[in-house]
Structure 1
């Protein structure tokens, strides 16, 4: 279908109602979460806390302390005292690679996968419009960000409760809070982690509009993720590091202080919003002018 044909069809159809926009999001979300690839990704993410919990339990079975050699994810030394810390440990372990890789796969396939399968042109004929369709795909990708983060957190909480004691939580600053407040802070941490993935989601969506190959889009997005992570490790490149989307990812640890340190948390949210605005706009500009012939 040529650009002219799509434009003519768009002009002939009536304006979609808000209910149609909601059903479009539901359709896109259903498409994302029904794929076997998505289910497999969530399964892998759910398995990470299980492996971490079992490893810590085995390491401390002789009375030793977890992470006594200084290695392992953050908070791992406190897991044996309170299973709730397995939530923070698992999020810290999955955030550098596993969570963003899963998001990159979903975002990279969002448009390119449809184009490769030949279904994108049929979506464009429906009374949705390219802008609404792209927004629905981004919203569905963000829903996956939330689902993936909550999968890790819920799995870690269940494993932590099964293998370790639960109780009052001693924060990084040394203040002890109730288990209920600790749960609320864990929920806030999960929310911060999910929002931290907005940048890679927007970047992946933009890459997805540049090609008709879902595999190429996914590989490019994951490659950009790895490149940004590597660049963020070199002190010589400190001038550009604050502009890299993963730079403030581990700032969620500041939610475990009393009082909470907001500076880097707000820097992270601002950076993710900047990436969403820049690459979301680039994706819109590319997608609205793209000639869909597949």
Structure 2
């Protein structure tokens, strides 16, 4: 008869649905996460009300400022669906990535700060499985945050402005239903655009036992990269910065769709995810957890 006590333990599967559900529940039950989603949902409301007030006397959105303002803002008065695209364009440079940076930065360091990380590792979860579950929970937040902005903008746009057929950037007119499908596709692309930042935040979170420090560092890196991307003298670096292709989602509003920018964006996010995801794994699996 085989002696089970001396037989080697087989490693469990890397993916654990139960662990992922647990991490998902922990992420979305935090008051900080709920507060971030509420703030994100309020931004389209503010933009919609501002456009409504500005155009209430027959003016044009952005017209008084020489057309300045978020992309697509001039089309909102003709079709409220464009508030979805405007809100995503307005929140993507800072508000959405800041929210992702906070959640990603707190994912590991927050558990270490409260002393729960050690108890999680006592359970037969394994560090690799736990890290994977936390990363996928952060990606789920990326999608939830993006959809929060999109759904809020759709509701506000339908309430304050007319909706109907959508005239794309290429001049082609499509049905409202196809416009909704394109809006959903854009929301998914925007969420995927935040994957590189999520991996970066996860890596930073493995470097410290302070959730506040990890969140601040991740958001600080985001701001630094945004500043670097705005300096013309550093143009040679711009294609390698993770926000460089973020606004390429607008190419989904063309007929035919311009795929080059979209694919470049997804490839760049995949590269950042691979590099910083691997760095997070290397750090977390070799880290001495004392708290």
TM range (shorter): over 0.9
Q: 5+ residue gaps in structure 1?
A: 1-10
The answer to whether structure 1 residue 174 and structure 2 residue 171 are counterparts is yes
Secondary structure of the corresponding residue to residue 16 of structure 2: helix
2:41 to 39, 46, 53: 46
- The whole-number CA distance in structure 2 between the counterparts of 1:270 and 1:125 is 37
Could you say which residue in structure 1 is the equivalent of 2:23? 28
- The whole-number CA distance in structure 1 between the counterparts of 2:192 and 2:8 is 38
The answer to whether structure 1 residue 236 and structure 2 residue 233 are counterparts is yes
Return the offset for 1:14.
6.9
- Alpha-carbon RMSD across the aligned residues, in angstroms, is 1.4
Q: 5+ residue gaps in structure 2?
A: 1-6
The answer to whether structure 1 residue 76 and structure 2 residue 41 are counterparts is no
- The whole-number CA distance in structure 1 between the counterparts of 2:162 and 2:281 is 49
The answer to whether structure 1 residue 200 and structure 2 residue 200 are counterparts is no
- The whole-number CA distance in structure 2 between the counterparts of 1:109 and 1:13 is 32
Q: Does the CA-based 8 Å contact 1:82-1:164 persist in structure 2?
A: yes
Could you say which residue in structure 2 is the equivalent of 1:5? none
- The whole-number CA distance in structure 1 between the counterparts of 2:39 and 2:254 is 30
Secondary structure of the corresponding residue to residue 63 of structure 1: coil
1:101-112 to 2 correspondence within 5 Å?
Answer: 101-112=98-109
2:54 to 59, 62, 87: 59
Return the offset for 1:16.
4.1
- The whole-number CA distance in structure 1 between the counterparts of 2:227 and 2:68 is 19
Structure-1-length-normalised TM-score: 0.94
1:184 to 181, 184, 199: 181
1:121 to 118, 121, 129: 118
Structure-2-length-normalised TM-score: 0.95
CA offset digits 1:87-112 (Å, max 9, x no partner): 00000000000000000000000000
